[in-house]
Structure 1
């Protein structure tokens, strides 16, 4: 058990100490960490099932703008560990995970507050010209903070927790255990509702119901619905793109005043006007071949790899600033003389925060191209570079968080969780591998595109309308997959039976004649409405606990086997 405790402690540490994103990114998700905790503790199947059940609750919990509504890292690792220690039904993992999740918010506050101290140490190091200290400050202190705040409690839980975890489960009456299973069956509706609130548009909401009824009537699984919805989304995307192409092909027309033989008064006429796109910077193009110092492909790849450490010392005061300063050490050393390097790095020690992995890297590519121009004597000031970075971090975060956390993640996590709950070990593997391949391949391409095109790149992407069409296409897939999840993973029915004379009437049978799955659908829609009204998810969780336990004891709600 000592080795298991050490391994789980390391996993818990890495779940918050994001020293290299391709390794640590999916350690924030219970679907991935549940299987790992299970392997470390000798119960891989139980760990995977517990992690998948926990993941369903957090499908819609999106951490945007540095705001964390719940600590999914602690929920997944600690909740799974306690489930294994107590040998509990994996459906109870949710009830274990949520208290840990709320406690985890305090752990986040401690971690990100303490990391603010290293930012000031880095400021002082740059004032003294000690560039390499910035790298040390980005990694070493934050590791020990993560180890103490996350790793040590996880170690103690696994090493010393089996006795009291088993006693806790044995002390719970069977009726309460059944009631808690009802709570576990209700809880995925919250994650689904939060996703619907994020993805939902009046023009697209019908796709949620299509996905739901494909699952209840045709018994299609999540993967089948995902493939079907992807085909629909592709056809709609092609149709919209064709219409837009026809509009763009029409010459722009405008009214102009001109004197002709037929128009001697110079009245306004409609004439075709050729429209030319101005240079985004308003200046003549610069021949980069004339640069005395240049970054080559190897330099760019190396900088992109360093960019994956930009949240190692994530902190409340300046968020990604210390990590991005660490990222720029290599190119700054390549571009500038030693006496200028520390001063040039200081511009990156300002507050900065954006989506870091998929769309956000385009900003760093742009900054590199501007930095290269500045190093070669072009009229690019430090204020220019930070002005572009600051101006683009909001749009990049808006696009990146929406597509990555709000669309790609829930689609892949839903498929992975469904496979896991069916006992397939490929579920977490599929989710982790495909998710990371998508976001990091796109992130790399965006980084290189930003460098190649300079500050005009994001402007061109935002103006051509492609983002909206792609987002809508992904939203269609997301809504249909989420509809399937509502039908199959909100595992609640009613055991209510009435006796009238010699006959009995089963409420669930009556509901099934109207439409299968009406209770899960009604619960999901009700919670969706509460989320849309800005009711705190914490209050909704408490309400689910109270209603689930009460309705279980009243024999109104029961649990059905996962479909």
Structure 2
């Protein structure tokens, strides 16, 4: 048990101490950590089932701007560990995880608040010209804080918790256990509704119902629906592309009759449509004849260092210390030793954006500007930070939307469904494919930003490609979410009516109207509450209260 406790504690530490994103990114998700906790504690199947069950609740919880609405790391690791320790039904994992996630919010507050001290220490070290201290301060103090805040509680839970966890479960009456299972069966409706609220443009909402009824009536599996949705989205994208091309294929010149002061007769004049002045778009500031130039290897190494930009994530300046740590390598290549500390100071200002997929384009741009500055171009520190600050908001909006709001829920829904069908490939597929997608795109964006400079973001936004791709992925996401509503809100009514000598099951009446109608109605009700700006935490409490009450009254039961 000591080794199990030690491994779970280490997992808890690095789930918050993001020292290298390709390793730690998916450790924020219960689908991944559930399987790992199960392996460490000798029950991988129960761990996987528990993690997948917990993940369904948090499909739509999106962290933006440094704000975490719920601590999914603690929910996944601690909730799964307690489920395994107690030997409980994995359906109860959600009821264990939700309280832990709320406690986890306090743990995040402590972790990120304490980390603010190391930023001030880094300021002092740079003032003394001590560049090496930045590496130390970005990694070591935050590791110690995570060890204390996350690691020690996780170790104690696993090492000392088995006896009291089993005793606690035995003390719970069977009726309450059944009621909590009902709560767990309803909870996925919240995650699904949050995604529907996030993705559900009015024009796209019908795709949610298409996904739902494909599964409810035709019994299609989630992978089949995802493939069908992908093909449909591709066809719609191609059709929209052709329509746009046709609309833009207007004559370059046209004859119009225009009465002007110079032409009072109204004779035809040639009018050329306005075109964007090429000089209005920022040009690449990196000429080919630099004396000091970064190599491709330098760029790759800088991108790898960028994966530690949240190792010392803190409330005061968020990613500032991590990005200063990233820039040490190129700054050493570009500037003499006596200038390196001063050049790094510009990166110690507040900075926060989506760090993995779209945000790297900003760092590529900053790197190209830094290279120009090192070669004597008229680029000031204020210019570099002005560009970085101006772009961090748009990049965050795009990156968070595509990554957390579209790519993640699609893959997590498929992975969780496979996991709940007792297929170990589910969480493995999710972790590998998710990371391959976001880091491949992130690498390309970093290189694109460096190559094109400031014009890179302008060209992306002007192309209109982003909206089309986002809509295509949203269609896939909504259809997959519809499938989840039909299969993972596993609730029914056991009510029966006695009519004379006949017994009518109310659930049969619902099934005649539409299969899985109760899960659909519950999901839509939660979605309606979210649209009315009801806080998700209040909805969680409401689900607990209503689920327990309806179970005791015999109104709802699990499928």
TM tier, shorter chain?
over 0.9
- Residue aligned with 1:163, SS: helix
Map of 1:285-304 to 2, 5 A cutoff?
288-304=287-303
SS at match of 1:504: strand
Distance 1:328 1:383 in 2: 16
CA offsets 1:326-383 (integer angstroms, 9 cap, x no match): 0000000100111111111011000000000000000000000000011111111111
**In structure 2, distance between residues paired with 1:481 and 1:160:** 41
What's the offset of the Cα at 1:289? 2.1
Work out the CA distance in 2 between the residues paired with 1:305 and 1:247: 43
Report the CA distance between 1:275 and its aligned residue: 2.4
Unaligned runs of 5+ in 2: none
Is the alpha carbon distance of 1:254 and 1:551 closer, same or farther for their aligned partners in structure 2, counting shifts above 3 Å? farther
Structure 1: unaligned runs, 5 residues or longer: none
Verify: 1:462 aligned to 2:461, yes or no: yes
Equivalent residue, structure 1, for 2:363: 364
- Provide the residue aligned with 2:129 in structure 1: 129
The whole-number CA distance in structure 1 between the counterparts of 2:63 and 2:409 is 13
Q: Which residue of 2 aligns with 1:204?
A: 204
2:420 is aligned with 1:421: yes
Q: CA deviation at 1:168?
A: 0.6
In structure 2, relative to structure 1, the CA distance for the partners of 1:250 and 1:383 (3 Å cut) is same
1:408 aligns with 2:416: no
Q: Is the 8 A contact 1:54 1:94 kept in 2?
A: yes
**Equivalent residues of 1:251, 1:274 under 8 A apart:** no
- The answer to whether the aligner puts 1:311 opposite 2:310 as a matched pair is yes
1:255 to partner: Cα distance: 9.6
Q: Contact (CA 8 Å) 2:346, 2:381: kept in 1 or not?
A: yes
Q: Is the 8 A contact 1:8 1:40 kept in 2?
A: yes
Change (3 A) 1:245 1:164: same
Alignment-derived partner of residue 488 in structure 2:
489
Matches within 5 A, 1:131-280: 131-251=131-251, 263=263, 265=265, 269=269, 271-273=271-273, 275-280=275-280
Task: State the match for 2:432 in structure 1.
Answer: 433
Task: Say if 2:505 is the partner of 1:506.
Answer: yes
Partner Cα distance (1:276, 1:52) in 2: 51
1:471-486 alignment, distance < 5 Å? 471-486=470-485
Shift of 1:501: 1.3
The separation in 2 between residues aligned to 1:220 and 1:252, in whole angstroms, is: 50
Write out aligned runs for 1:1-40 (5 A). 1-40=1-40
Aligned mates of 1:105, 1:308 — CA distance in 2: 24
Q: How much does 1:271 deviate?
A: 2.1
- Cα offset for 1:188? 0.2
Secondary structure (helix, strand or coil) at the match of 1:351 reads: coil
**Offset at 1:257?**
10
Instruction: Give, in whole Å, the separation in 2 of the partners of 1:271 and 1:446.
Output: 39
Q: After alignment, is 361-370 or 498-507 more displaced?
A: 498-507
Matched, 1:383 2:382: yes
Query: Is the contact made by 2:286 and 2:371 (CA closer than 8 Å) also made in structure 1?
Result: no
Q: CA RMSD in A?
A: 1.7
The answer (yes or no) to whether the contact 1:252–1:275 under 8 Å persists in 2 is no
Residue aligning to 1:88: 88
TM-score normalized by the length of structure 1: 0.97
Report the secondary structure of 1:161's partner residue. Answer: helix
Mean Cα displacement is larger for which, 298-307 or 266-275?
266-275
Shift of residue 286 of structure 1?
5.7
CA distance in 2, matches of 1:405, 1:39: 27
Instruction: Say whether the 8 Å CA contact 2:286–2:369 is kept in structure 1.
Output: no
- Shift of residue 268 of structure 1? 8.4
2:202 aligns to what SS in structure 1?
A: coil
- Partner of 1:558 in structure 2? 557
C-alpha separation between the residues in 2 aligned to 1:303 and 1:20?
Answer: 13
Judge conservation of contact 1:335–1:375 (CA < 8 Å) in 2: yes
CA–CA separation in structure 1 for the residues paired with 2:276 and 2:249: 14
